[in-house]
Amino acid sequence: MPSAKTVTGGVIVYENQHVWMADNQTPESRRQWLQTLESIKALQPDTVVPGHYLENPRLDTRSVDFTRDYVLAFEAQAAQAKDAADLRERMIKLYPDFPQDVGLDISTKVMMGEMKWPQ
Protein backbone atom coordinates (compact mmCIF):
# COMPACT_ATOMS: atom_id res chain seq x y z
CA MET A 1 0.00 0.00 0.00
CA PRO A 2 2.20 2.83 -1.27
CA SER A 3 0.14 5.69 0.12
CA ALA A 4 0.29 4.17 3.61
CA LYS A 5 3.99 3.23 3.22
CA THR A 6 2.98 -0.27 4.28
CA VAL A 7 4.12 -3.67 3.02
CA THR A 8 2.29 -6.86 3.83
CA GLY A 9 5.10 -9.37 3.95
CA GLY A 10 3.06 -12.46 3.22
CA VAL A 11 4.86 -15.78 3.34
CA ILE A 12 8.32 -14.31 2.86
CA VAL A 13 8.56 -12.17 6.01
CA TYR A 14 8.81 -13.72 9.46
CA GLU A 15 9.20 -12.38 12.95
CA ASN A 16 10.21 -13.97 16.26
CA GLN A 17 9.92 -17.62 15.22
CA HIS A 18 11.81 -20.24 13.24
CA VAL A 19 11.51 -19.63 9.51
CA TRP A 20 10.00 -22.29 7.25
CA MET A 21 12.88 -23.15 4.93
CA ALA A 22 11.57 -26.34 3.29
CA ASP A 23 10.01 -24.52 0.34
CA ASN A 24 13.32 -22.91 -0.60
CA GLN A 25 15.51 -25.92 -1.17
CA THR A 26 17.95 -24.52 -3.68
CA PRO A 27 20.56 -21.81 -3.28
CA GLU A 28 18.89 -20.00 -6.20
CA SER A 29 15.46 -19.93 -4.53
CA ARG A 30 17.00 -18.63 -1.32
CA ARG A 31 18.95 -15.99 -3.28
CA GLN A 32 15.67 -14.84 -4.89
CA TRP A 33 14.04 -14.72 -1.46
CA LEU A 34 16.86 -12.54 -0.15
CA GLN A 35 16.56 -10.27 -3.20
CA THR A 36 12.84 -9.88 -2.56
CA LEU A 37 13.55 -8.93 1.04
CA GLU A 38 16.02 -6.30 -0.15
CA SER A 39 13.38 -4.99 -2.58
CA ILE A 40 10.99 -4.57 0.33
CA LYS A 41 13.59 -2.61 2.28
CA ALA A 42 14.32 -0.44 -0.76
CA LEU A 43 10.70 0.74 -0.66
CA GLN A 44 11.48 2.31 2.74
CA PRO A 45 8.13 1.37 4.23
CA ASP A 46 7.07 2.71 7.60
CA THR A 47 5.17 -0.49 8.35
CA VAL A 48 5.91 -4.10 7.43
CA VAL A 49 3.37 -6.72 8.44
CA PRO A 50 5.07 -10.13 8.67
CA GLY A 51 3.09 -13.01 7.24
CA HIS A 52 4.33 -15.31 10.00
CA TYR A 53 4.93 -14.23 13.57
CA LEU A 54 4.30 -15.01 17.18
CA GLU A 55 3.35 -12.55 19.88
CA ASN A 56 4.11 -8.86 19.53
CA PRO A 57 5.74 -8.59 16.11
CA ARG A 58 7.84 -5.57 15.25
CA LEU A 59 5.86 -3.99 12.45
CA ASP A 60 8.74 -2.39 10.61
CA THR A 61 11.74 -3.36 8.50
CA ARG A 62 13.36 -5.17 11.42
CA SER A 63 11.17 -8.16 10.52
CA VAL A 64 12.68 -8.08 7.03
CA ASP A 65 16.15 -7.93 8.56
CA PHE A 66 15.29 -10.78 10.90
CA THR A 67 14.13 -12.97 8.01
CA ARG A 68 17.25 -12.19 5.97
CA ASP A 69 19.53 -12.88 8.90
CA TYR A 70 17.75 -16.16 9.70
CA VAL A 71 18.01 -17.41 6.10
CA LEU A 72 21.72 -16.58 6.03
CA ALA A 73 22.30 -18.19 9.43
CA PHE A 74 20.40 -21.31 8.38
CA GLU A 75 22.53 -21.65 5.26
CA ALA A 76 25.76 -21.09 7.20
CA GLN A 77 24.83 -23.61 9.86
CA ALA A 78 23.73 -26.16 7.24
CA ALA A 79 27.14 -25.89 5.60
CA GLN A 80 28.75 -26.93 8.90
CA ALA A 81 26.17 -29.43 10.16
CA LYS A 82 26.74 -33.16 9.85
CA ASP A 83 23.02 -33.99 9.60
CA ALA A 84 19.51 -32.61 10.21
CA ALA A 85 19.65 -33.24 13.95
CA ASP A 86 22.89 -31.28 14.18
CA LEU A 87 21.44 -28.44 12.10
CA ARG A 88 18.32 -28.38 14.30
CA GLU A 89 20.43 -28.09 17.45
CA ARG A 90 22.54 -25.35 15.90
CA MET A 91 19.43 -23.30 15.07
CA ILE A 92 17.98 -23.85 18.53
CA LYS A 93 21.25 -22.61 20.00
CA LEU A 94 21.10 -19.47 17.82
CA TYR A 95 17.43 -18.85 18.63
CA PRO A 96 16.87 -20.39 22.08
CA ASP A 97 13.70 -18.43 22.85
CA PHE A 98 11.78 -19.61 19.81
CA PRO A 99 9.32 -22.50 20.12
CA GLN A 100 10.64 -25.69 18.59
CA ASP A 101 8.09 -26.86 16.08
CA VAL A 102 7.62 -29.33 13.29
CA GLY A 103 8.55 -26.63 10.77
CA LEU A 104 12.08 -26.52 12.12
CA ASP A 105 12.28 -30.32 12.01
CA ILE A 106 11.04 -30.51 8.42
CA SER A 107 13.20 -27.59 7.26
CA THR A 108 16.38 -29.11 8.65
CA LYS A 109 15.62 -32.55 7.20
CA VAL A 110 14.86 -31.09 3.77
CA MET A 111 17.97 -28.90 3.80
CA MET A 112 20.19 -31.82 4.72
CA GLY A 113 18.63 -34.13 2.11
CA GLU A 114 17.05 -36.46 4.66
CA MET A 115 13.48 -35.73 3.55
CA LYS A 116 11.71 -34.75 0.34
CA TRP A 117 9.35 -31.79 0.35
CA PRO A 118 6.62 -31.76 -0.58
CA GLN A 119 6.18 -35.40 0.24
pLDDT value at position 1? 60
Tell me, what's the pLDDT at 10? 87
- Of the chain, the percentage scoring pLDDT greater than 70 comes to 98
Please answer whether residues 67 and 35 qualify as being in contact, where contact means their C-beta atoms are separated by less than 8 angstroms. no
Whole-angstrom CA distances from 43 to 46, 53, 71, 100 are: 9, 21, 21, 33
Q: Per-residue pLDDT tens for 58-104?
A: 999 999 999 999 999 999 999 999 999 999 999 999 999 999 889 99
* Residues 22 and 107 sit within 8 Å (Cβ to Cβ): yes
Task: Evaluate if pTM is beyond 0.85.
Answer: yes
H-helix or E-strand containing 71? helix 62-80
